[in-house]
Amino acid sequence: MKFYNRENEIRRLHEIRTQSIENAQFTVVTGRRRVGKTQLLLKAAEGRPTLYFFVSRKAEAFLCDDFGQEIVEKLQIPMLGNVSSFSRLFKFLMQLSTTQSFNLIIDEFQEFLNINPSIYSDMQRDWDTLKAQSKMNLLVCGSVHSLMHRIFEDYKAPLFGRATHFLQLKPFKVSVLKAILAENNPNFTPEDILALYAFSGGVAKYVQLFVDNKALTLKKMLDLMLREDSFFVADGKSMLIEEFGKDYAVYFTILSAIARGENTRGKIESVVGKEVGGYITRMENDYGLLSKTTPLFAKSETKNVRYVIEDNFLTFWFRFIYKYSHIIEIKQFGELRKIIERDYATFSGKVLEKYFRDKFIEQGGITKIGGYWDKSGENEIDLIVLNEIEKKAQIIEIKRNEKQIRYNILKEKATSMLAKTERLKGYNIEYKGLSMVDM
């Protein structure tokens, strides 16, 4: 698959690269696994001498051998003797960068915690003492959210405050997914774009797998995902176990409960069988996996809270792959497919709501967006979109099938909501229905 989108990120990284010719720059790029961090950095580094260090789990001396070869090949300079310490290697590069400018990309930067944690304090020392003369453009990235947070945002950490720029790489927006689908499957249907959004969530690696395998319809996407050698079946677990460690089973149970609609704290605790406040807080703040949602116009102290999984692929994975792992263990992928096809309309209906939310945000011209539900959870409005400057509000019902939209019921729900708040007093209110034909 060709390199898509990322114009804003490339532009920003080029600006930073230009700055580094005069003064050393230290950029931290974060984002979930498979989102395309490495490809972005390599693309942005094109046209300038660049070292790419991938920190794999091997002995430090072996890593330094690999890195030394990269230095010889890319910078065309000899390495004097064997260097078995990354700290010595980094100091050498910092000194070299006082006379020549180059990019240094360090991928999976958090892995140094498993190899030699003192590397970070040594880097701090050499960065602090040599950065004033350096012309290095240092770019580091990592996929384990909690560890990258610990390295750069914990005020006690050696590299706290050293980075000059932070860039969080997000999945592709819905407009980019549509452009990719249009280029590779010009006859795509709304069902196909909804499936690509639901299964990939805009994560570059997943999109690439669908494109490269020409799996660009709902049927073909399911064919690719539901087979014995499927990358998708294993990836949810492999991606999260390193984040969660030995307690991963509790986290997985919580995420599985939320994925199937048990999205309040009380319901989650009834499934897990224990208090989950600490786990939820860590998944929200440390891992970036959950978000806490409240009804639009609710007071900040409200307990009317629902939790949602931020990542579309993980929502699908916990809803169907993890929940039915016993079926996968005996390789009954045909039976699993029957379950997914049986439940897909309900599952994708909720995904469709998120799709339109993302679409409104991307289009802009709004100041607030969210849903509404009362304490009983019955009087529910799918989406409310506000422009508080122009005093405009759109109150929206979202259905897969446009024939199922009931404007009279939507207005009844809105009347009940408006009776409880004065926030929309004086607003021009539009009642709207959105379905798959509007995608």
Model confidence pLDDT, tens digit, residues 164-198: 999 989 999 999 999 999 999 999 999 999 999 99
- Of 150, 168, 186, the position where a domain reaches its end is 168
Instruction: Give the pLDDT score at 9.
Output: 92
State the pLDDT confidence band at 3, using cuts at 50, 70 and 90: low
Q: What is the pLDDT of residue 154?
A: 78
387 lies in a domain? yes
326 burial class (0-12, 13-18, 19+ CB within 10 angstroms)?
exposed
- Of the CA atoms within 13 Å of residue 97, those in its CB half-sphere come to 32
Please give the pLDDT value at position 322.
Answer: 95
Q: Which two tokens stand for residue 220?
A: 């073909």
Residue 351 lies in a domain: no
Could you give the CA distance from residue 241 to residue 407 in angstroms, rounded to a whole number?
Answer: 45
List pLDDT tens digits, range 386-424. 999 999 999 999 999 999 999 999 999 999 999 888 889
pLDDT band at 96 (very low <50, low <70, confident <90, very high): very high
pLDDT at site 78: 82
According to the model, what pLDDT value does residue 216 have? Answer: 96
User: Is residue 207 one of the residues assigned to a domain?
Assistant: no
pTM, rounded to two decimals: 0.89
Q: Express each pLDDT in 138-163 by its tens digit.
A: 999 987 777 787 888 877 888 988 99
Domain final residue pick, 168, 193, 213: 168
Residue 337 lies in a domain: no
* 185 occurs within a structural domain: no
Can you give the pLDDT at residue 19? 95
Q: Would you tell me the crossing angle of helices 333-363 and 174-184 to the nearest 10 degrees?
A: 120
- Element of type H or E holding 368: strand 368-373
Examine residue 221 and state whether it is found in any structural domain, yes or no: no
Share of the chain above pLDDT 90, in %: 80
Long-range CB pairs of 261-266, under 8 A, 24+ apart, other chains included? 263/306, 263/307, 263/308, 264/305, 264/306, 264/307, 265/305, 265/307
Write out the two tokens for 225: 């995902």
| DSSP state string for 90-141 | HHHHHHHTTTS-EEEEEESGGGHHHH-THHHHHHHHHHHHHTTT--EEEEEE
**Residue closest to 308 by CA, chosen among 296, 292, 321:** 292
Domain count, the chain: 2
Is 310 domain-assigned? no
pLDDT band for 89, please (50, 70, 90 cuts): very high
Residue in 357, 347, 362, 259 with CA at minimum distance from that of residue 311? 259
pLDDT tens by residue, 297-330: 988 888 899 999 999 999 999 999 999 999 999 9
CATH number at residue 136: 3.40.50.300
- Nearest-angstrom CA–CA distance, 61 and 83: 7
Q: How far apart are CA 194 and CA 92, in angstroms?
A: 51
Mean pLDDT is lowest, of 46-55, 88-97, 232-241, for 232-241
pLDDT band at 102 (very low <50, low <70, confident <90, very high): very high
Annotate 29-43 with b (16+ C-beta within 10 A) or e (fewer). bbbbbbbbbbebbbe
Parent domain of 411? 364-438
- For residue 26 the two structure tokens come to 């230290």
| Residue 87 placed within a domain | yes
pLDDT of residue 80: 63
Reply yes or no on whether the pLDDT at 426 is more than 70: yes
Confidence tier at 1 by pLDDT (50, 70, 90)? low
Point out the domain boundary residue: 120, 150, 168.
168
CA-closest candidate to residue 250, choices 267, 285, 286, 275: 275
Whether 252 and 325 have beta carbons less than 8 Å apart is answered as no
Run of H or E residues at 193: helix 190-200
When pLDDT is cut at 50, 70 and 90, the band that residue 67 belongs to is: very high
